[in-house]
Amino acid sequence: MVTRLSLLKELSALIADDVLVVSSIGNNSGFWGQLKDREANLFHVTMGMCTSTALGLALALPNRKVLALDADGNLTLNLGVLGTVANEAPKNLTIVLMDNRNYLGSNKKEPGMPTATAGKMNLEEVAKGCGIAGACTVEEVAGFRAEVHKALSTDGPHFIRARIEALDNDRPPRNKRVPDPRENKYQFAGYIQKTEGVEILGSGLGGG
């Protein structure tokens, strides 16, 4: 089995600069912010909200590729979103699920508490049952590289479940400050305004 860091390193090497990445709270955001400091990142999306946020973004910008960097505990909090993704069927959406089969494994020396995927739940099968026919599972770097490459070059929605180590024993060096949610909002919205020509922030008549 692989670590989260090794897959995120691989993702950082193969993802195009203009792919919008929506990352869940915890080490998905923390590691990605160290590995890939860029304006096209939306960080810190909380439990149950990562894939739904990426879905809304993908539907709003159908010509822009969007990648959700989700996690097992985060997704299972709001699992119904997979049915919505399948029915709305955004061609530009890829969900990468870091499945470490526990809550809080990202911060501890021993696994936190098991998620349902530590037991009988298989999120690849759940995604397929929801109607995302091409859902797949990867367990090593080469398979991950191939599936992400395929997802980013063909019509989605795509669902890639990555079975990763329960604990994040390898970590990137912390030499960047990951922006807080408000700074990140201005950065990400400003980048989309600039590259898509849409108005996001401009509103109101100012103070006075």
Partner 1 sequence: MKSEKAQLVVNGLKEAGIDFAAGVPDAQFIEVYKMVEKDPGIRYVGTANEAEAAGVGFGAWFGGKKPALLLATSGLLVATYHLARINLLHEVPMLVVIPYRGDIGDPRWLGLYKKTTEPGLNAMDIPYRIVSRSADIVRSIKECNESARAWLKPVAVLLNEEALW
Binding site for Mg ion (CB under 5 A): 71-73, 100
Nearest to 19 by CA among 82, 90, 99, 94: 94
Residue 117: CB partners within 8 Å, gap ≥ 6? 72, 76, 99, 101, 123
Examine residue 89 and tell whether it contacts partner 1 (CB under 8 A). Answer: no
Cβ proximity to partner 1: between 78 and 122 the closer is 78
Secondary structure class of 192 (helix, strand, coil): helix
Residue 64: CB partners within 8 Å, gap ≥ 6? 18, 20, 58, 92, 196
Examine residue 40 and tell whether it contacts partner 1 (CB under 8 A). Answer: no
Cβ proximity to Mg ion: between 19 and 25 the closer is 25
Rule CB under 8 A: choose which of 16, 119, 153, 199 binds partner 1. 199
Examine residue 187 and tell whether it contacts partner 1 (CB under 8 A). Answer: no
Q: Least Å distance between CB 9 and partner 1? A: 26
Examine residue 19 and tell whether it contacts partner 1 (CB under 8 A). Answer: no
Examine residue 121 and tell whether it contacts partner 1 (CB under 8 A). Answer: no
Stretches 83-91, 120-128, 139-147, 153-161: which one binds partner 1 (CB under 8 A)? 83-91
Residue 180 contacts residue 171 (beta carbons within 8 Å): no
Number of neighbours of residue 22 by Cβ within 10 angstroms = 29
**Token pair listed for 11:** 């993702």
Rule CB under 8 A: choose which of 48, 73, 156, 157 binds partner 1. 48
Cα angle 202, 206, 208; round to 5: 180
Secondary structure class of 156 (helix, strand, coil): coil
Alpha-carbon distance 80 to 22, whole Å? 18
Rule CB under 8 A: choose which of 19, 57, 135, 138 binds partner 1. 57
Q: Least Å distance between CB 51 and partner 1? A: 8
**Token pair listed for 106:** 């990202």
Cβ proximity to partner 1: between 93 and 164 the closer is 93
Whole-angstrom distance between the N-terminal and C-terminal Cα of the chain?
59
Binding mask 129-158 for partner 1 (x = CB under 8 A): ------------------------------
Which residues form the interface with partner 1 (CB under 8 A)?
22, 42, 44-61, 64, 78, 80-81, 83-84, 88, 181-182, 185, 188-189, 192-193, 196, 198-200, 203-205
